[in-house]
Structure 1
Amino acid sequence: MSSLKNLVRNENMKIYRRPRTWIMILFLIAAVGLMSGIMKWDESRSYNAEWKQNLTEQNEYMEKALTESQELDDASKARFNEQILLNTYYLEHDINPHQLGLWSYVDSSAALIVLVTILTVVIAADMIAAEFSWGTIKLLLVGPASRTKLMAAKYIATLGFALLLLLICFASAFAAGGILGGFDSVSQPSLSVNANGVVQESTMIIQSLQKYGFAVVSLVMYVTMAFMISSAFRSSSMAIAFSLLFMLIGNTLSMMLSSYSWVKYLLFSNIDLSRYMTGGTPLRPEMTLTFSILMLAAYYLVFQLVAWLLFTKRDVAG
């Protein structure tokens, strides 16, 4: 175990001693700051002092539509009723729903986890392939550590880098939200309507962590896939290119093939678990959260097995 710890430390040194890594971190912080600034600018530009009147008029419009319109389906009616309840709650408790608080910025920053994924995929795709590109793979293999331990150390170090980027993304958004939205809004509640038609309050941090949690699932899967691809190529540029290609076109490909029942077995059709959150819909109607989790678990095991076989059985004599 101590040798694995030393190997992980060695891989971390390879990651954090490169200027590219710190440029990535600064780029992520800048992206969070830019997103937060745009949100604040949009809020100040569209802020309306007559928000109470607007909510009242919105309720009147929806109530009239529910009473007179014959074209509304059940889903639209449920959405209108829910929004009426929320608007009424806002008016009664003097809450401006358009005013951004600290957790609004943190909640929105979850969208930037795709950037965290891309940056980590670049590192993951380079972890093994770069050893062949630089010619250092033979130096690693002549040591006492087994190939399995070497691969495990590289994978652990890569996940550690992903965790660091996630923490930086969350902390940066929290700081930006506190500066722009006020740290006093940290207790701002999240409102939702339960099955009984009652508006209930919950902490915003739960909602934000839930979004981050779902995004972490896709992050781990894409990183593991990139790690497998890195094991297959001797060129780091090829490994990075293929990893990013699969990541960027995967969801689009699944959407294009959504009319076919077999598309539910593709990795990209199951990787976004946020589709099973309240208000979301899966790619196929027969898909469930349990099914997607089982599919992801199967893909994860396959990726790990293939990466292990490619790395441990590869001939490096040439």
Structure 2
Amino acid sequence: MSSLSKLIRNENMKIYRRPRTWAMIGFLLLAIGLMSGIMKWDAGKGSQTDWRQQLTQRNDQLQQQLQGLAHPGDKEHLEDAIKLNAYYLEHDINPNRLTLWTYVNTSASLIILVTILTVIVAADMIAAEFSWGTVKLLLVGPASRTKIMAAKYIATLGYALLLLVIAFAAAFAAGGILEGFGAISEPHVTIANGVVHEGSMIANALQKYGFAVVSLLLYVTMAFMISAAFRSSSMAIAFSLLFIFLGNSLSELLRGYEWVKYLLFSNIDLTQYMEGSAPLRPEMTLSFSILMLVAYYAVFQLVAWLLFTKRDVAA
């Protein structure tokens, strides 16, 4: 077994032997259970009006609105909505019906909770060694500081992956138990350029999870950098969570300025490029945001590596 794999195993032992780790997993499962229960309860309170009648009435309203519009973009948007509703009626698809995929797609919004739980671990990985005084024991061993840092980073990403798998599996199971597994092969219906397309529900769900994983990766890497900078677990966790909670609000507040597109928080949510969404600024593109995120990721890794490998440890 290589020295890196031994270090990774050692870091995993540190993570999973702590009661806090399992408490966070339990908290994630509880959150998904509450979300599923609230969705089921809320659906039971809904109107019992026939969904076909609702869609027919909605299309009549949209047709009336369409006659009074002159802007091509607005007209195209309404025409697409009318075509989509007509497709639902023609193929007997109730777009408002709860299915197991509704639970899975909604659970993607809880990945921010996965991010927060992983950031707490990441921010503690380096800083805790200094707080406990165990960093000296690590550094006197044969492994280089680079390998030690890499092992901590890989172990943290492994924990993040575990939380993601648990979130997806729990939401899928909850949806199947509450709504049945009959909709597992149901298509994902979208419209683009006036043409209705049927896609895969599992592919759509994985796309949402995949985009959310990007923000998870960036925030975890940022937490590692902060952990290396502040040799205090509490400060590392506090600063990391502060950036998570205030970053998006800051970008929204400054969206009127062109330079806001260069901020990390303006690019970290790639779901803004999914169909039916709009980017923070009209000139932003998916390729631009990916380029910015790669640049930030490289800077975070470089700064964290420099701070951990080059700084002296007090005797």
Give the shorter-chain TM-score range.
over 0.9
Partner of 1:267: 264
Question: Which piece of structure 1 moves more, 183-192 or 152-161?
Answer: 183-192
Partner of 1:57: 57
> How many percent of aligned residue pairs carry the same amino acid?
70
Whole-Å separation in 1 of the counterparts to 2:82 and 2:205: 24
Whole-Å separation in 1 of the counterparts to 2:284 and 2:85: 33
1:193 corresponds to which of 175, 191, 194 = 191
Letter in 2 for 1:66: L
2:197 is paired with a residue of what secondary structure?
A: strand
CA-atom RMSD in angstroms: 1.3
Partner of 1:103: 101
**1:53 offset after TM fit, Å?**
1.3
CA contact (8 A) 1:232 1:307 kept: yes
Whole-Å separation in 1 of the counterparts to 2:155 and 2:262: 30
Whole-Å separation in 1 of the counterparts to 2:34 and 2:47: 20
2:177 corresponds to which of 161, 176, 179 = 179
Question: Which piece of structure 1 moves more, 180-189 or 39-48?
Answer: 39-48
**1:152 offset after TM fit, Å?**
0.3
Q: Deviations over 1:202-252 (max 9, x none)?
A: 111111111001000000000000000000112100110011111111111
1:202 is paired with a residue of what secondary structure?
A: strand
Q: Deviations over 1:66-110 (max 9, x none)?
A: 12x24x643332222112112212222222221111111111110
1:241 corresponds to which of 235, 238, 241 = 238
Alignment of 1:160-175 (within 5 A): 160-175=158-173
2:253 matches 1:256 = yes
Whole-Å separation in 1 of the counterparts to 2:261 and 2:46: 41
1:63 is paired with a residue of what secondary structure?
A: helix
1:97 is paired with a residue of what secondary structure?
A: coil
1:190 is paired with a residue of what secondary structure?
A: strand
**1:317 offset after TM fit, Å?**
2.3
CA contact (8 A) 1:270 1:296 kept: yes
Whole-Å separation in 2 of the counterparts to 1:296 and 1:65: 41
TM-score between both structures, scaled by the size of structure 2: 0.97
CA contact (8 A) 1:43 1:98 kept: no
CA contact (8 A) 1:224 1:303 kept: yes
Partner of 1:20: 20
Alignment of 1:198-237 (within 5 A): 198-237=195-234
CA contact (8 A) 1:110 1:215 kept: yes
Partner of 2:37: 37
Alignment of 1:61-100 (within 5 A): 61-67=61-67, 69-70=68-69, 73-100=71-98
Whole-Å separation in 1 of the counterparts to 2:63 and 2:286: 35
1:128 is paired with a residue of what secondary structure?
A: helix
Q: Deviations over 1:35-56 (max 9, x none)?
A: 1111111111114242211111
1:290 corresponds to which of 282, 287, 291 = 287
Whole-Å separation in 2 of the counterparts to 1:100 and 1:310: 49
Whole-Å separation in 1 of the counterparts to 2:294 and 2:196: 36
Q: Which runs of 5+ in 2 are unaligned?
A: none
CA contact (8 A) 1:47 1:98 kept: no
TM-score between both structures, scaled by the size of structure 1: 0.96
Partner of 1:281: 278
Partner of 2:48: 48
Whole-Å separation in 1 of the counterparts to 2:258 and 2:91: 47
2:282 is paired with a residue of what secondary structure?
A: coil
Whole-Å separation in 2 of the counterparts to 1:266 and 1:65: 38
Partner of 2:305: 308
Whole-Å separation in 2 of the counterparts to 1:26 and 1:305: 34
Letter in 2 for 1:80: L
**1:254 offset after TM fit, Å?**
1.2
